[in-house]
Amino acid sequence: MMLNSKTTLAFSVLVAAMTLSACQPKDSHKKEQTTSEASASEPLVTVLELKGNLEELTLKMPECDGKNCSEFSVERLQTNYNFVNDVIDKAILKDLDQILSISEQLKKEEAKKADSNKSAVEKQLTASSAVAENAPATAAQQLATQVQPYLDNFLNLDKELKTLGANHKISLSISPKILNSQGPLVTVVLNSSSYLGGAHGSTSQQYFNFDLKKEKQVELKDIVAPNQQAALENRAHEAFKIWVTDSKLADNVEQYEQAWKFKLSNNFYLGQQGLILQYAEYEIGPYVVGLPRLVIPYEQLQTILKKEYLPEVKADEAKAVASIDKPKS
């Protein structure tokens, strides 16, 4: 009788152990399945990024073996967003027009040629390839056709200067570059420099900001919160005063502003330290100051800029800075 009791007890313990061991994997599998389902239900965050590469335009330049050969270079930025490409292409032509003006009639003729006669443009640029002649002109080729009249004007100027006995080598260069590829705003900077004779050359930096989600170009007024334009101008004016003082441009700001008054620049981008306001030569100072740049720290813009365009920056990392880009000698 005692033996039967012991046998029964041992059997009961064995059954209980098997039951516990069988249940454990099932509970673990359920937990893993629940975790997997939770991870799958979380929305994927898509990070938009501006990507691109530069291509130097193929233009008709005469051969030159001398030391004073003129230099003319225009690069085009091809990105993964067509609306960005269109804006930068137009900006390049506008920049050229400000440096080397051509007649309005010639502009109309070239625009008409580019729009209605693309096959002829292709034959002119790729005459050595029968297959390419029948293909539509690329964006770079179309832009090159529009740039060519400016190059022709540039070459005519070079001839005139050399006829007058000038020994200077004239030059012109335009090149875009992606500055900020991610974030609330992506930025492309268009750098240009030129020397067309005279005492010194000229440089410029133009910033173009884009909202990739909305696929549109964004201007300064678009990132300012409602009824905050005056507050932004006040902050910018304070940065201007700091710049004048730190640069030792005058004994006091009031004296300086008698000759160079403050103005709010619409040429901007969102930098690491704050909102960058870029100015052109002679815009708020003499040539010697180069391209003035004012920085308004983000900690001063918390209620001035729209939240969707306000980068997340630690307050102690944002400092008031006013820097100057010196012109190239």
Q: Where are the CATH 3.30.565.40 domain residues in the chain?
A: 52-218
Tell me: pLDDT of 73 over 50.
yes
Q: Are 142 and 117 in contact (CB under 8 A)?
A: no
Tracing tokens 């704050």 back to the chain, one arrives at 274
Tell me: pLDDT of 249 over 80.
yes
Nearest to 157 by CA among 192, 203, 198: 198
> Residue 41: its pLDDT value, please?
56
Indicate the average pLDDT of the chain. Answer: 82
- Give per-residue pLDDT as tens, 295-317: 999 999 999 999 999 987 554 44
52-218 CATH pick, 3.90.180.10, 3.40.1160.10, 1.10.10.10, 3.30.565.40: 3.30.565.40
220-325 CATH pick, 3.90.640.20, 3.40.50.300, 3.20.20.70, 3.30.1370.60: 3.90.640.20
Tell me: pLDDT of 186 over 50.
yes
Q: Where are the CATH 3.90.640.20 domain residues in the chain?
A: 220-325
- Cα(17)–Cα(256) distance, integer angstroms: 91
Instruction: State which H helix or E strand residue 203 sits in.
Output: strand 202-211
